[in-house]
């Protein structure tokens, strides 16, 4: 574990931008997101969970897949240095790993040998992740429900703790170790530094609300699939896409061709199962034409179907959906209601 | 609040309504959440304060309609703007006056969470309490008291109809019509800027849009079964976040709700990216008032302005 | 670029304005060849979306023309259209789009000469503004 004094942070970022396209938390007009930066002055280190999701670094809202004209198809290749991200939180690091199971090298469904998403891979493989510990989780954070925690390191390349006057940097992966070993301007972390980090970790853990019992969530959900509980829980949902679009693990997309006069492009854009036409078929029939069906679908996908297929919940407890929902749907309440439901299909 | 809960209990116990739509406390200190009460005991969940920002009228044109079987009555706790949306629905035949019981609530304005975040520099507000025109915001390590006006939604600062004009019961103290000569100052100030600057500002605002459609979905005036955005034969605008597509989405949405928008501000408060959505709506609302003397929903019987006409009207913008 | 000719979309109502355009043609009245015509049954059919999409596609100007108030073939279509345009024009100007790019007129079936005059005026107005850049997709 090494220690980087904060007054050397500017130089560190400066050298990082030499080898990498560096993304960090930037706040513009009151809303925070991960944006490409050139210097440490642009970084807003006070934001915890960003308003916009970091998945947009690797899986942007609108991405041109290829362009076409009379001469044929032209792929749009991403040029440039590999990506480094400074300041991802433990929940976000995990969400990227979950997305990698769908799009990238960790692909599991159906088989790894089948097509992996090249657009994802060219950005994510080879990226360097500096995750930062949360010293003050928000009331909307619930990463501890799904095996996470404010000082979670797994999945990161270098785990960073802000101890006030310095950053403690702990390599987690091979790539991270190689990077830290080459770093200049750092010192070995002292025992008191490490103690400070441990104290921050335990304080942060204490700030989080205890997770309710969640064992058997995915089976319980299937058990209550046909029950009336969904009517009540979905009543206030207005079926916009705010939750899916701020969510770090939601990954449904639509492909649109836009063209005119013999040339155009194919664009991939985010889509949401909450939109009414998500499952509308060519005949006009829509199996999820009711709002409650779409609401149920989102919950089932995240906490049941994904778990069946990939072994983990498609949620990292970042709480962005809780903050963003215009009508105040709280997915934590939904889960708790399902687990405590004593009706027809409940176990 | 006690009066509200008592009245709702009465209505439900006396079977005058099957359900009451109101607000209850949510996990977010600054924003209450809609609640559908169908039993007298449930009425104790109801609250009414400056965190009640949604426009509950929207539920009358959503799937939630199925919660109320045909012909049965529904009660709605309504601020002034919400009741105007209901009046609009009556004019547009989306709701029968006999099927709803409007419970007017004494609105003093709704909080804008983005303004609070600016004040607290992004630090989370864990508790909020109000008294006498002041709001106290408490976080983990701060305690701020501010004038409520400093953090009210821009729609509320410009509001002239805080009370439900068309209502069956009114809770608390009504304020009556609040004359507000200054209410279009932000629009005037924006108009004074040169065209180049206005265009750049507009581009700046809409470049933050993520096309989540939260604004459209919380708006009671947007209830088309198929929104123009979803039409694909022909496709009017692209769905990516390309700036012209996004700007046209907002321009057209505002034109589609022209003369039907009650300036409740639900759209602006719903936006997860904090866009200044009310700028266009309010410009249109002012044009409506100046040209046609029309304000949406103040009279349940008035036809919406865009569905109506007078033979002699100012047409200075038309050649010949 | 001094030979640049603007592309103007003219949305004309069938019964009056389109007939007026036809009359201009039959009478061999000259006017700038900058317009592309879309015929609609009534000016009341014109959705602001048509105008926005045209600007987005790269038209430098849009003219919508209908029957004079009181003479609408469908009785009140142009009254409703008038209200719509009354909202659209100030809104576009508010956004910073040059007001002369989108114009409206009432031209009757017998006003061939006037049609030519209106087209000439619109063409000149748009020429002064130059090619459309704002709201053009891919610009």
B319 closest CA partner among C64, C29, C22, C34:
C64
CA distance C137 to chain B (A): 6
Q: Are B317 and C86 a contacting pair at CB < 8 A?
A: yes
Q: What is the pLDDT of residue B319?
A: 78
Q: How far is CA A118 from CA A125, A314, A335, B241, in A?
A: 10, 22, 35, 22
Min Cα–Cα distance to chain B from C98, Å: 8
User: pLDDT value at position A341?
Assistant: 86
Report the SS3 class of residue A88: strand
Exposed (0-12), middle (13-18) or buried (19+): which is B136, by Cβ within 10 Å?
Answer: middle
> What band does B66 get if pLDDT is binned at 50, 70 and 90?
low
Identify the helix (H) or strand (E) that includes residue B75: strand B74-78
**Given an 8 Å threshold on Cβ–Cβ distance, is C96 in contact with B255?**
no
- The pLDDT > 70 percentage for chain A reads 99
> Any chain B CB within 8 A of the CB of A174?
no
Query: Which DSSP helix (H) or strand (E) runs through A5?
Result: strand A2-5
DSSP A301-329: IIIIIHHHHHSS-S-----HHHHH-TT--
Q: Which of C13, C56, C79, C87 to mutate to test the interface with B (most CBs of B within 10 A)?
A: C87
Cβ–Cβ contact B203 with A under 8 A: no
Chain C: residue nearest B310 by CA?
Answer: C79
Interchain CB distance below 8 Å, A258 and B63: no
- Asked if B32 and A32 come within 8 Å (Cβ–Cβ), the reply is no
Note whether B305 contacts C98, CB cutoff 8 Å: no
B227 touches chain C (CB under 8 A): no
pLDDT at position B318 is 82
Structure tokens at B34: 């809609």
Inter-chain CB proximity C95 and B199 less than 8 Å: yes
Residue A160, both tokens: 């960073």
Closest CA relative to residue B194, chosen from C94, A59, A191: C94
Query: pLDDT value at position B70?
Result: 64
Q: Which A residues in the span 325-344 are in contact with B, Cβ-Cβ below 8 Å?
A: 326-330, 332-333
- State chain C's mean pLDDT as an integer: 92
Give me the residue from B195, B284, B310 closest to C87, CB to CB: B284
- Tell whether A186 lies on the interface with B, counting CB pairs under 8 A: no
Most confident residue range from A330-344, B165-179, C9-23 = C9-23
The verdict on a CB contact (< 8 Å) between B214 and A275 is: no
**Mean per-residue pLDDT for A93-113?**
87
Residue A114 has phi, psi (to 5 degrees) of -80, 175
* Residue of chain C whose Cα is closest to the Cα of B205: C95
Q: Provide the β-strand partners of residue A131.
A: A88, A159
Answer yes or no: do A61 and B241 touch at CB < 8 A.
Answer: yes
- Find the DSSP H helices in C1-139: 17-26, 48-57, 77-95, 112-129
Q: Is the pLDDT of residue B320 over 60?
A: no
A238, B32: Cβ pair inside 8 Å? no
Q: Tens of pLDDT along A271-296?
A: 999 998 899 999 989 999 888 999 99
Question: How sure is the predictor about B67, in pLDDT bands with cuts at 50, 70 and 90?
Answer: low
A232 φ, ψ to 5°? Answer: -70, -40
Mean predicted confidence (pLDDT) in C108-137:
93
Confidence of residue B176 (pLDDT cuts 50, 70, 90): confident
Asked if residue B188 has pLDDT above 80, the reply is yes
Residue C139 is predicted with a pLDDT of 64
pTM of the predicted structure, to 2 decimals: 0.93
Judge whether B85 and B220 are in contact, CB under 8 Å: yes
Mean pLDDT computed over every residue of chain A:
91
Taking CB atoms and an 8 Å limit, are B33 and A238 in contact across chains?
no
Dist CA B99 CA B102 (whole Å) = 10
Q: Nearest by CB to A328, which of B28, B208, B240?
A: B28
* Burial class (CB within 10 angstroms; exposed 0-12, middle 13-18, buried 19+) of B144: middle
Q: Does C58 touch chain B (CB under 8 A)?
A: no
Confidence of residue B65 (pLDDT cuts 50, 70, 90): low
Q: Does C127 touch chain B (CB under 8 A)?
A: no
**DSSP code at position A89:** -
Q: In terms of C-beta distances under 8 Å and separation of at least 24 residues, what long-range contacts does B95-101 make, across chains too?
A: B95/B60, B97/B300, B98/B73, B99/B71, B99/B72, B99/B73, B99/B74, B100/B60, B100/B73, B100/B74, B100/B75, B100/B76, B101/B11, B101/B16, B101/B17, B101/B73, B101/B74, B101/B75, B101/B76, B101/B168, B101/B169
Region at A319 (left for phi over 0; alpha for psi -120 to 50; beta for the rest): left
Task: Assess whether pLDDT exceeds 80 at residue A112.
Answer: no
Among the ranges given (B67-76, C39-48, C108-117), the one the predictor scored with the smallest mean pLDDT: B67-76
Partner B contacted by A135 (CB < 8 A): no
pLDDT digits (tens, 9 = 90+) for A187-237: 888 899 899 999 999 999 999 989 998 988 989 999 999 988 898 899 899
Listed by start position, the domains of chain B span 2-112+152-307, 113-151
| Mean pLDDT within A141-156 | 91
8 A C-beta contact, residue A336 and residue A330: no
Nearest CB to B255: which of C88, C106, C107?
C88
Tell me the backbone φ, ψ of residue C51, rounded to 5 degrees: -65, -45
pLDDT tens for A11-64 read 999 999 999 999 999 999 889 999 999 999 999 988 889 999 999 999 999 999
pLDDT band of B275, cuts 50, 70, 90: very high
Q: Which pLDDT belongs to residue A345?
A: 60
Orientation of helix B278-292 relative to helix B243-256, angle to 10°? 40
Q: Please name the residue of chain B whose CA is at the shortest distance from the CA of residue A291.
A: B63
List the one residue out of A170, A292, A151, A343 whose CA is nearest residue B62.
A292
Cα A29 from Cα A15, distance rounded (Å)? 28
Average pLDDT over residues C94-116: 93
The domains of chain C are located at: 8-129
Q: Is B319 on the interface with C (CB under 8 A)?
A: yes
Alpha carbon distance A92, A217 (integer Å): 22
Any idea which fold C8-129 has? Answer: Rossmann fold (3.40.50)
Query: Is there a contact between A30 and B114 if contact means CB atoms under 8 Å apart?
Result: yes
Q: A125-146 pLDDT, tens per residue?
A: 989 999 999 999 999 999 999 9
Q: Do A31 and B274 touch (CB under 8 A)?
A: yes
Q: Which 39-58 residues of chain A touch chain B by CB within 8 A? A: 46-47, 51-52
Confidence tier at C92 by pLDDT (50, 70, 90): very high
Lowest mean pLDDT among A85-94, A114-123, C18-27, C29-38: A114-123
* Among the partner residues A32, A292, A324, nearest to B63 by beta-carbon distance: A292
pLDDT of residue C52: 94
**What whole-number distance in Å separates Cα of residue A297 and Cα of residue A305?**
9
CA distance A114 to B65: 45
pLDDT at residue number A185: 83
pLDDT of B151 over the 60 cut: yes
Contact B68, B74 (CB under 8 A): yes
Percent pLDDT > 90 in chain B is: 56
DSSP state of C61: E
Q: Above 70 in pLDDT, residue B69?
A: no
| Confidence class for position A108, pLDDT limits 50, 70, 90 | confident
What is the residue-averaged pLDDT of chain B? 89
């Amino acid at each position: 574990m090494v220690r980087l004094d904060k007054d050397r942070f500017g130089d560190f970022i400066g050298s990082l931008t030499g080898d990498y396209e560096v993304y960090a938390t930037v706040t513009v007009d009151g809303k925070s997101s991960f944006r490409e930066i050139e210097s440490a002055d642009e970084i807003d280190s006070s934001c915890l969970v960003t308003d916009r999701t970091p998945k947009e670094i690797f899986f942007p809202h609108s991405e041109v897949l290829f362009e076409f004209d009379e001469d044929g198809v032209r792929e749009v290749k991403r040029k440039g240095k590999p990506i480094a991200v400074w300041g991802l939180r433990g929940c976000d690091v995990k969400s990227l790993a979950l997305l990698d199971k769908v799009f990238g090298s960790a692909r599991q469904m159906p088989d790894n040998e089948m097509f992996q998403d090249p657009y994802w891979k060219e950005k994510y493989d080879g990226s360097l992740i500096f995750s930062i510990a949360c010293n003050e989780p928000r009331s909307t954070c619930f990463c501890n429900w799904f095996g996470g925690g404010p000082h979670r390191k797994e999945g990161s390349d270098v785990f960073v703790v802000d101890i006030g006057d310095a950053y403690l940097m702990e390599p987690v992966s091979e790539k991270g170790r190689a990077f830290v070993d080459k770093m200049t301007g750092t010192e070995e972390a002292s025992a008191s530094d490490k103690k400070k980090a441990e104290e921050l970790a335990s304080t942060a853990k204490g700030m989080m609300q205890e997770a309710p019992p969640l064992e058997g969530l995915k089976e319980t959900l299937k058990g209550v699939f046909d029950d009336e509980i969904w009517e009540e829980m979905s009543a206030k949902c207005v079926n916009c896409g705010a939750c899916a679009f701020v969510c770090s693990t939601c990954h449904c997309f639509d492909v649109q061709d836009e063209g005119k006069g013999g040339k155009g492009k194919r664009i991939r854009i985010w889509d949401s199962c909450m939109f009414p036409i998500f499952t509308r078929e060519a005949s006009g029939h829509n199996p999820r034409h009711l709002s409650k069906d779409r609401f149920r679908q989102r919950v089932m996908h995240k906490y049941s179907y994904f778990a069946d297929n990939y072994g983990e919940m498609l949620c990292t407890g970042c709480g962005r959906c809780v903050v963003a929902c215009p009508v105040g749907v709280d997915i934590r309440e939904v889960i708790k209601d399902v687990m405590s439901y004593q009706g027809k299909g409940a176990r | 609040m006690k009066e509200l809960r008592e009245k709702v209990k009465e209505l439900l116990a006396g079977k005058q309504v099957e359900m009451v739509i109101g607000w209850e406390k949510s996990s977010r200190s600054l924003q209450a959440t809609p609640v559908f009460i169908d039993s007298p005991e449930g009425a104790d969940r109801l609250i009414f304060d400056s965190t009640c920002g949604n426009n509950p009228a929207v539920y009358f044109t959503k799937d939630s309609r199925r919660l109320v079987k045909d012909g049965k009555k529904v009660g709605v706790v309504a601020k002034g703007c919400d009741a105007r949306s209901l009046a609009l629905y009556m004019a547009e035949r989306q709701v029968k006056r006999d099927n709803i019981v409007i419970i007017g609530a004494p609105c003093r304005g709704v909080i804008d969470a983005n303004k609070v975040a600016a004040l607290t520099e992004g630090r989370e507000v864990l508790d909020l309490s109000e008294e006498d025109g002041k709001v106290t915001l408490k976080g983990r390590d701060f305690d701020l008291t501010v004038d409520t006006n400093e953090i009210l939604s821009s729609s509320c600062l410009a509001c002239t109809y805080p009370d439900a004009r068309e209502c069956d019961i009114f809770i608390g103290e009504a304020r009556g019509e609040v004359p507000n000569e200054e209410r279009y100052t932000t629009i005037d100030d924006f108009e004074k800027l040169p065209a180049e600057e206005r265009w750049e500002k507009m581009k700046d605002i809409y470049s933050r849009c993520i096309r989540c459609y939260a604004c459209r979905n919380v708006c009671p005036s947007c209830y088309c079964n198929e929104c123009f955005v979803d039409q694909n034969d022909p496709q009017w605008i692209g769905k990516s976040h390309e700036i012209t597509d996004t700007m046209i989405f907002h321009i057209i949405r505002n034109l589609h709700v022209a003369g039907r928008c009650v300036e409740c501000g639900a759209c602006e408060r719903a936006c997860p990216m904090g866009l200044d959505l009310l700028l266009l709506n309010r410009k249109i609302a002012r044009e409506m008032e100046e040209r046609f003397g029309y304000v949406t929903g103040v009279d349940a019987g008035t036809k919406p302005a865009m569905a109506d006409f007078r033979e002699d009207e100012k047409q200075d913008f038309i050649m010949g | 670029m001094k030979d640049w000719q603007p592309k103007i979309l003219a949305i004309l109502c069938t019964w009056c304005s389109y007939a007026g355009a036809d009359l201009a043609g039959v009478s061999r009245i000259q006017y700038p060849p900058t317009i592309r015509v879309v015929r609609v049954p009534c000016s009341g059919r014109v959705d602001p979306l048509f105008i926005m999409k045209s600007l987005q596609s790269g038209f430098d100007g849009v003219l919508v023309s209908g029957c004079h108030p009181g003479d609408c073939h469908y009785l009140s279509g142009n009254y409703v259209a008038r209200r719509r345009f009354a909202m659209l024009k100030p809104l576009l100007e508010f956004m910073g789009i040059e007001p002369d790019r989108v114009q409206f007129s009432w031209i009757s079936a017998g006003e061939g000469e006037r049609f030519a005059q209106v087209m000439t005026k619109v063409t000149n107005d748009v020429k002064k503004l130059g090619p459309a850049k704002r709201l053009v997709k891919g610009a």
